[in-house]
């Protein structure tokens, strides 16, 4: 699959503004305000935020791209989960913090905001991390309820190193890369983890809004395609799974970064997803293997 890099260290790869050139020189991620933490197999810093296949729209391929606008997705989830205007605080500072009048105090646990919280892994050593936990606190700083968030983009296949190096070296018109996307990870990794984590959280008495999964729009579309049939929509509740998807905005002038655009939110239940995952309704016609064998005889 041929594709092009369309966001590189946050900016268009051909952007010659001072900000964009400095980001490439410093290998800086503007969404984290720090050095890019996405690396290639050889350890080099990647810098690639978004790829555009030749036959479809852009695909965000770095989860940190979803943290633009100072982690706006956390506020988006908190507003839905806690049904009101919110103010976010680092987890270890929230209890004593002063919240603005009329806003809900929310403690945030996650990378760069406080310690990540680990889920046990079926009694074995290790376990899964939940990317984010948002905890609603009352006026006394005590826990009222909480919601968990998983944030994922999609892994790439193929190779974009030649195109990446050309942009780093300011070479004109590099060839398209061979990079594609590992959509099979939806089946092998993303959905099984969401189902497992969703069931664990369902047993938490104060997790009243379930699990939120934040992802790029094409990942959401692949999940819906994989599950097939009809997923019933539910209100937020213990055991619910809310899919929240985003896309990048339109092209912008040099020196600017594209918006992160909220595309929608869909709430169902972990049971609905698990049933659809194990009993897919989008199977091919019967006897497709027989027909393929006969066609080759």
- Tell me how far apart the terminal alpha carbons of the chain are, to the nearest angstrom: 31
> CA-to-CA distance for 84 and 71, rounded, in angstroms?
18
21-47: pLDDT as tens digits: 999 999 999 999 999 999 998 889 999
Check residue 297 and report its DSSP letter.
-
pLDDT, position 292: 87
66-106: pLDDT as tens digits: 999 999 999 999 999 999 999 999 998 999 999 999 999 99
What is the mean predicted confidence (pLDDT) over 144-159? 94
162-173: pLDDT as tens digits: 999 999 998 877
> CA-to-CA distance for 96 and 94, rounded, in angstroms?
6
Angle at 200 between CA 198 and CA 204, to 5 degrees: 105
Is residue 276 within 8 A of residue 231, CB to CB? The reply is yes
pLDDT, position 115: 72
């Amino acid at each position: 699959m041929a594709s092009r890099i369309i966001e590189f260290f946050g900016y268009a790869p051909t952007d010659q503004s001072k900000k964009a050139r400095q980001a490439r020189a410093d290998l800086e991620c503007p969404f984290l305000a720090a050095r890019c933490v996405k690396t290639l197999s050889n350890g080099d810093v990647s810098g690639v935020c978004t790829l555009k296949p030749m036959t479809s729209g852009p695909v965000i391929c770095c989860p940190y791209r979803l943290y633009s606008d100072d982690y706006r997705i956390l506020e988006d989830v908190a507003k839905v989960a806690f049904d009101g205007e919110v103010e976010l605080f680092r987890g270890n500072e929230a209890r004593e913090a002063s919240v603005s009048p009329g806003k809900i105090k929310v403690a945030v646990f996650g990378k760069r905001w406080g310690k990540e919280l680990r889920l046990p892994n079926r009694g074995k050593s290790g376990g899964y991390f939940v990317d984010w936990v948002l905890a609603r606190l009352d006026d006394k700083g005590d826990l009222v309820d909480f919601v968990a968030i998983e944030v994922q983009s999609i892994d790439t296949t193929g190779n974009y190193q030649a195109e990446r190096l050309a942009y780093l070296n300011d070479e004109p018109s590099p060839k398209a890369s061979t990079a594609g996307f590992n959509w099979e990870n939806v089946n092998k990794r993303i959905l099984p983890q969401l189902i497992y984590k969703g069931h664990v959280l369902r047993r938490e008495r104060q997790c009243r809004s379930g699990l939120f999964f934040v992802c790029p729009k094409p990942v959401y579309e692949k999940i819906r395609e994989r599950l097939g049939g009809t997923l019933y929509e539910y209100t937020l509740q213990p055991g619910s799974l809310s899919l929240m998807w985003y896309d990048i905005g339109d092209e912008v002038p040099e020196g600017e970064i594209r918006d992160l655009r909220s595309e929608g939110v869909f709430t169902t239940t972990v049971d609905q997803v698990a049933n659809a995952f194990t009993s897919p309704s989008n199977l091919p016609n019967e006897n497709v293997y027989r027909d393929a064998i006969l066609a080759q005889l």
